[in-house]
Amino acid sequence: MLVRDALTTRDLFLCVADFQDGSFKDLMPFRHVKKPPHSAYMHKLPTALTHLHQLLVPWLATYGTARLDKLFGYMPHMRDLIILHSVVFGDVPTLTYLLERFLKEIHGFSDPLLDVAAAYGQLAVLQILHAVEYPGCTRNAIDWAAFHGHLPVILFLHAHRKEGATTKAMDAAAMNGHREVVKFLHMHRTEGCTTDAMTEAAWNGHLDVVIFLHTHRSEGCSIWTMDRAAWSGRLAVVRFLHEVRSEKCTAQAMDMAAWNGHLDVLEYLHGIGAPCTANALQYAAMNGHLEIIKFLVSCRREGNFSMAIAAAEQRSQSAVVQYLKAHAK
C-alpha cells in the first residue's frame, strides 16, 4: 500500500517526468509562435499576435497561470511573448502574475512596454506598470496614444510621466480626426504641431479639426492642403480652405479631383477659377469618369483629346472613347 501511494504521488511523478525527453502535449501548439518585428508595434501588434492570441486565450481559460512556469521552462522565448500579449490585449490577471514572478525581467524588457500599452489604449496596464516603477517609456507613448485617439491614456501620461511628446502627437491626432486629443494637446502641452496637422486633417475630411487648427494654431498648412482635400473629394474642406486660408490650391487640385471622379469638387474649383492641366481630361478618361469628361469638355480648354483617347483605350473604357471621339476638337 505504501509503495503504491508513493508511486502514484503527483509530485514524484512530475519529478520523474522532468528527466524524460519530449514535450507536454498542451505546450506543443506554442512551438512555432514567434515575436513580431518592432515595426509592428505602433499599429499592427494585435494582428501580428493573432496566432498567439488564438492559442493563448483558450489555453489560459483551461489552465490559468499555473502552467506558465512550465511553458517558460520548455520554451523560454514564450515569456517575453506572453508579457507583450498581456500588455497589448490588457490581460491584467496574467500581467499581475508575471509581475509577481518576473519583475526583474520585465523591468529589463527589451521594448518600452509603456509605449505599447499607450498605443493600444490599455490604461489599466499603464497604471500597473507605472506603479511598479517600470522604466520603459519614451516620447512615443503620448505620440502613439494621440495617433489612436486614446485621450484617457494621454491624460495619465501627462499627469504622471516626464518623457514628453513630439509634434507628431498633434499631427497624428489631427490626421485621424481626434479633435478632443488635438484640443487637449493644444491647451496643456507645449510640443505644438507642424503644417502636417492641418494638411492631413484636410486630406481625411476632418473639417472640425481643420477649423480648430485654423482658429487656435499658428502653424498654418502647406500649399498642398487644398489639393489633397480635392483629391479625396472633401468639398466642405475645400470650400473652407478657399474662403479662409491664403495658401489656395495648385493645378493638381482639379487634376486629382478628375482622377478620382469628384464632380462636385471639380465644379466648385472651376467656379472659383482654379487652374488645371491636360492631365485632368487624361486622368478622367483613364479611370472611366464619363461625367467628369463631359464637364471638362464643355467647360475647360486644357485637354488633349488624342492623349485622353489613348489612355481610355488602354484601359478599355469604351464609353469614354466613344464620347471623346465624337467631341474631339
C-alpha cell at 211: 477649423
Same domain flag for 58 and 157: yes
Residue-level pLDDT at 125: 98
- Nearest CA among 307, 217, 227 for reference residue 275: 227
Q: State the pLDDT at residue 49.
A: 86
Q: Has residue 307 been placed in a domain?
A: yes
Give the span between the Cα atoms of 288 and 317, in whole angstroms. 6
Residue 128 lies in a domain: yes
Domain range for 265 is: 249-329
Domain boundary among 128, 161, 194: 161
- pTM of the entire predicted model: 0.87
CA–CA gap between residue 120 and residue 43 (Å, rounded)? 8
Rg for the chain, CA atoms, rounded: 29
Among residues 161, 195, 224, which one ends one of the domains?
A: 161
Residue that terminates a domain, selected from 161, 191, 214: 161
CATH code of the domain in which 305 resides? 1.25.40.20
User: Is 313 within the bounds of a domain?
Assistant: yes
Q: Are residues 156 and 58 in the same domain?
A: yes
pLDDT of residue 6: 56
Give a yes or no: residue 153 inside a domain.
Answer: yes
What's residue 27's pLDDT? 75
Q: Do residues 255 and 157 share a domain?
A: no
Q: What is the number of domains present in the chain? A: 2
Cα angle for residues 301, 304, 305 (degrees, 5° grid): 105
The answer to whether 2 and 47 are in contact (CB under 8 A) is no
* 195 is a domain residue: no
Please give the pLDDT value at position 202: 99
- The answer to whether residue 319 is domain-embedded is yes
User: Is 28 part of any domain?
Assistant: no
Q: Tens place of pLDDT for every residue, the chain, 329 residues?
A: 555 655 566 555 555 555 455 566 667 777 777 777 766 666 777 888 888 899 999 999 998 998 999 989 888 889 999 999 999 999 999 999 999 999 999 999 988 999 999 999 999 999 999 999 999 999 999 999 999 999 999 999 999 999 999 999 999 999 999 999 999 999 999 999 999 999 999 999 999 999 999 999 999 999 999 999 999 999 999 999 999 999 999 999 999 999 999 999 999 999 999 999 999 999 999 999 999 999 999 999 999 999 999 999 999 999 999 999 999 86
* 8 Å CB contact between 201 and 175: yes
Q: How many CA atoms lie within 13 A of 18 on its CB side?
A: 9
Asked if the structure places residue 192 within a domain, the reply is: no
Rounded to whole angstroms, the Cα distance separating 109 from 136 reads 8
Query: Torsion angle of alpha carbons 169, 175, 178, 181, nearest 10°?
Result: 20
Identify the three-state secondary structure at position 2.
helix
